[in-house]
Amino acid sequence: MAAAQRPWTSVPRPLCWLLAACLLLQLGWRLAQQHAPAQARPLPAAPPPGVARLASLGEPLAMSKAMLLYLQSFEDQPGVSLPWRALDYDRLAGWLETAQTLDPRSRYALVAASEVYAGVADPQRARRMLAFVAASFAANPQQRWPAMAQAVLVAKHQLHDLPLALGYARALRQLATGPHVPPWVREMEAFILEDMDQLDSARLVIGGLIASGQISDPHELAFLARKLDELAKKKARPCARGAICSKLPF
């Protein structure tokens, strides 16, 4: 036998007022949320590579792409356009590193780091991205040299940090030795040295490239020979004013 339903009139009046107040509070909170200024969410910490690989259900390449798309869309939040300089770049590097670990053949993470996020108008954040690029390059220099070459340009032209650019260019010359790496990549160190007015060192680097046989293209060899002559003339200019000239082996 079904229990008899009690009429609303039997509900105590204080309880009715309490229910009405809760309803009004709920409606007021909803309206306040709609009219409140939008606030940006901070970038969360990236999942460790092992966790991300497990969550990929056997599709690590798809998970890598999904993570990078998440980063790309994170800048545009509901009602907020988040500038890059507002991102936590340590966490950003963590997302890029995890995505790259899941898909080590993809260059998307390195392109994003060296050409997009490193372009932020914040030297500290730009350096963080370049550090990520340099570490990734060291793990696979024959495939990741393009991002490292871009890092040299960012360090030189954007950060105006020639010693940093020189360190990256030197790593390119020493590590990116594969036959498919274009000669200009290994020559970057010499040009940075010339910019730093270290002409003797620049000539030594060019002479070493020629002597080692790393440069075999006749046109490139002719270019380097002309460059050696230019550096020698530039080095000899102080002699015309009575300065002491150093003697070089070439």
Tell me the two tokens of residue 155.
Answer: 């360090």
The residue that leads in pLDDT, 155 or 240, is 155
Q: Distances in Å between the alpha carbon of 84 and those of 80, 92, 129, 150?
A: 12, 10, 12, 19
**pLDDT reading at 100 higher than 80:** yes
**pLDDT reading at 141 higher than 60:** yes
**pLDDT recorded at residue 103:** 95
Does the model's pTM come out above 0.85? Answer: no
**pLDDT reading at 249 higher than 50:** no
Q: Which of 108, 66, 112 is nearest to 92 (CA)?
A: 112
Tens digits of residue pLDDT in 13-25: 665 565 666 666 6
Measured on CA atoms in the order 95, 115, 125, 186, is the torsion positive or negative?
positive
In the chain, what are the domain boundaries?
45-74+81-162, 182-236
**pLDDT recorded at residue 248:** 40
Above pLDDT 90, what percent of the chain?
A: 49
The residue that leads in pLDDT, 15 or 145, is 145
**pLDDT reading at 244 higher than 50:** no
Tens digits of residue pLDDT in 53-99: 998 888 999 999 999 988 888 776 544 455 667 789 999 999 999 99
In three-state form (DSSP H/G/I as H, E/B as E, the rest C), the secondary structure along 85-128 is HHCCHHHHHHHHHHHHHHCCCCCHHHHHHHHHHHHCCCHHHHHH
Instruction: Pick the range with the lowest mean pLDDT from 59-68, 188-197, 211-220, 233-242.
Output: 233-242
Q: What does the chain come to in residues?
A: 250
The amino acid present at 208, given as its one-letter code, is: G
**pLDDT recorded at residue 115:** 93
The dihedral over CA atoms of 130, 136, 141, 147, expressed in degrees to the nearest 10, equals -40
**pLDDT reading at 165 higher than 60:** yes
**pLDDT reading at 31 higher than 90:** no
The residue that leads in pLDDT, 39 or 70, is 70
